[in-house]
Structure 1
Amino acid sequence: MKMKSGFLFVMLLFVLVLAACQNSGSNQGNGHDDHQMKEHSDAEKKTTASLPSDFNKQAAEGLIVKNTKNTTRLDAKTPEELSIKTSQTIWPATHKQNRPGAVILVSKDSWQTALAAADLIHHPNNGPVLFTDTDQLSLNVQNEIKRLSPLGTSDGTQILAVGNFDKQALKVLKSYKVKQLTGEKPAEIAEKIDEEYASSAGEYPKSVIIGSSEDRAELYTLPSVNWIAHMPEPLLYIDNQGIPEATAQALKKRDGKANIYILGPAAAVSEKTEKALKEYGTVKRISGNDPVTNSIAFAKFKDQDTDFGWGVTDPGHGLSFASTAKPELALAGAPFSHLGKHAPLLLLKDGQADQSVYSYLADIEPFFEKHPQDGPYNHGFILGSEDDISFQTQGILDDILEIKSKDGGHSGH
C-alpha cells in the first residue's frame, strides 16, 4: 500500500512539474508574440503615418509669434529680405570670431548664378549671400554689409560680386576690397566659381554635382544649394543641348576620375547626357519623381565610398523648408547648411506638407527612452512668410519634429 501511495505521489509531482513547464513555455511564447506584435505595430505606425486632418481654424488668429518650439521662421517675402535676415541670424557679427570673411553679392535676376555661387559660402568666404539688383545696391544691403564689417579672406577680398553687376553700382562699396566673377551663360559662371574655389583650396574637389540650368528643371536642381554651401563640391550645369563646353572643361580638370552626381530625374537631365558624362568619371543619379520627392531623395542619399551626401535617415538634424512656389527664398536661406544645424533643403509643394514629406519626417522622428533632455532633437527652418508656408503647415511640421517618448505620447515630462 505504501509503495502504491509513493508511486502515485511521484506521478502527481511529475504531472504538476510538466504542467508548470508547459505553462511557462506558453507564457514565453505569448511574450515573444506580444513583442513581435508590438514591433509590427510600431513599424506599421511609421509606414502609415498620415497627415493630420482635424484642424483648429482659430489657430492662426491673433498670433504675436513667428516661431514655434521646433521651428524658426525667416519671415520674408523677397530674396533680398530673406538673405538679410539669414545673414543676421547666422552672423551676429558681435565680435571678430563671428564676423564673416567676405559677403557674396548675387543678382535677383539669375537663379542659376545665385545657386552656383553658394559653393563659395563656406570656403573661402565664410559669409552670407546677399541678393540685390545688378544696377543698384539697396540701402538695406549696404547697411547689412556695414553691420557685418567683413574681415576679408586670405587675399583680402571683403565683397565678392558674382554675376554681371554694373560697375557703377559697385562704386558704393569703394571702401571695401571687391572682387567680381562674371560669365555670360550659367555653365560659364559655374566654371568660374569652381575655379575660384580650387584656387583658394589648392585643388579641385573630385566630386561634383550636375544639374540642369533650364528653367523647367529649376526645382530639381535646387536642393543642391544647401549641400554646396556646406561642402566643397561644386554645381556644374548641363542644358537641353547636353554638356556645355565650360562644364566639359571643368570636368576635365578631374583627370577622368570625377565622382559625378546627377541631381534630378531623366526629365531634368537626360539619359543621353548621363551616358556622355561617363567620359569624365563615375556617374550616379539621385532623383525623385517630382521636386518634393527629389529633395527627400537628396536629403537621404549617402555614398559610403566617397562620403558624399547628407545621409539624413535618423533623428537629430536641422532641416530647411521652402515652397516650390518660391524657390528664390530657398537660395537666400542656403547658409543654414553652413553654420548652426547644417540643414538640408526639403521642398513643400506650394507650401504644403504632403504625405511624402510627412512620411519622411515620421521616419526620422526623434524619441527618448528615459529623459527628453538627452535628445536627439530635430529642428526646422521655415523660409518665407505665412503666405508662402502657412502657420497650419508650420504647426504640422512642428509636431512631427517634436521629440516624443518611446512609450508613447510625451510621458516623462
Structure 2
Amino acid sequence: MEHASYLWYALLWLIGWGVVGAVVTPRIYSRKDLDISQAGLAGAATGAAGGPFTLLPLWYFTPKLDWKWVALPGAAVVAIFGWAFALADPNNLCVTNGSFVATQLVNGLVMGTIYGLMALGLTLIFSILGVVSFAHGEFYMLGGMAVYYLSEVWFPGIHPVLSVLGAALFTFVIGVIFERIFLRAMNTGQVERPGEYAILVTFGLAFFLQYFTLALVGANPKKVDRFFEYPTINIPADNPTLLKVTPASIKMFDHITISSPRFTAAMLSVLLLAALMWFLYRTWVGKALRAVSQDRQAAAVTGVNPHTMNTLAFGLGAMLAGLSGASLVQVFSWVPWVGILASARAFVIIVLGGMGSLPGAFIGGLIVGVVETLGAGCVPDPQRAAAYIPAYGMVILVLVLLLKPTGLFGREL
C-alpha cells in the first residue's frame, strides 16, 4: 500500500470510538432504566461512525434504539473504511475497477447462499436438540465425496441430480443412525451431563469420519465435472451486453461474471432452501419440528414424539450439510479434511444470525459469503488472500460476541 497510514488511522478511529460506544452506551441506558438490548451494538456503530460528535447527543437524549441506529451508522462505518482503503491503496482493483467489485459482490452472494444452506442444518439441530454438532463439517465433506464416487467411479455418466440425491440419502441415514445410537441417551435421562456428552460424541464422530474417509479414499484431491453444460445464449444476439451464457461462465450486464459451476450450486441451494421452508411451514412433520423447538413438553402433550423429532432433525441437519458439499464438489477440489473450515464457517454464521434462528442462518451466510469474497478480492497477493479467508470469519465472530452475543436475530434466553 502506498499510504497505509490512512488505513491505520481509520481503523484506530473506528475501533477506539466503537469500543467507547459499546461500553458506555449500555451503562447510560441502564442507569435511566431504558431498554439496553440494542444499546451495545448501536453505541458501537454510532461511536465508530462519528466519534464524540454522535455519541454525546446519543448519551444526552437517549432515544429509543431500533434497527435504524445500527443500519445507518453501520453504513457510515463501511463508507469511512472504504474511503480510507481507497486513500491507502489507490491502485487496488477494488478501488479502480467497479466491475471487479460488482463481480466479487455477486459471487459473494452466490457462495453465501450455499453457506446459508449448510448453516441452516446446524441451526436446525441446535433448535431441536439443543446441541451444536461438531461433526457438521464432516457431513459436508461426505456429501461431496458421495457425489464424486457416484458420478465418477461407481456409475460414470449418471445424471448429476441422482448423485446429489444419493449424497442426501447417504448423509441423512448416517445422521439418523448416529442420533439413535449416541444422542438418544442424552434426552432420556441416561446421561448425567448431556451438554458435555454431546460435545464429546460429536467431536469423536468428526474425527472418525475424517480419518476413516482418509483411510478409504486417500489424500489426493477429488473433483467432478460440471453438473450441467449450459447452452450458448447471447442477449441481444448481435452485442450481448445484457446476458452472455457459455458452458464455463455467465456474464451479466457486460461486467459481472459468475462461473457456471458456482451458479449451478447456488440455484440448487435456492431450490433446497425453498423446499426446506415449505417442509417446515406447510407439512405436519415440519410444524411438529417447530413445535418441539419452541416447547418440548407442550408438543408432547399434543401427540408429538420429541425423540422422533430429535432423530429427524439431526438427520435433516446432516443432510443439509451433505447437500452443501454435494453442490460445491464441482467448484472446489475435495479432500477428507475439507470439512474443518466448513465447520468453523458454519459456527460463525449461526452465531452471527442468532442461535436457533433459521432466517438468521441464511442472512448470516450471505454476510459471511460477501465479506470473504470481497476481502479476498481486495488483497493483491492471491496466496495471502486465500490465507486470510478464515480470518474474516473469526473477526466477524469476535465482533458479534462482543457487541451482540445473541446474534442479529437471536433473543435473550
**TM-score, structure 2 length as denominator?**
0.26
Greater CA radius of gyration, 1 or 2? Answer: 1
Of structures 1 and 2, the one with the larger relative CO (CA 8 A, separation 6+) is 2
Of Structure 1 and Structure 2, which has the larger fraction of its residues in helix? 2
Give the structure-1-normalised TM-score.
0.26
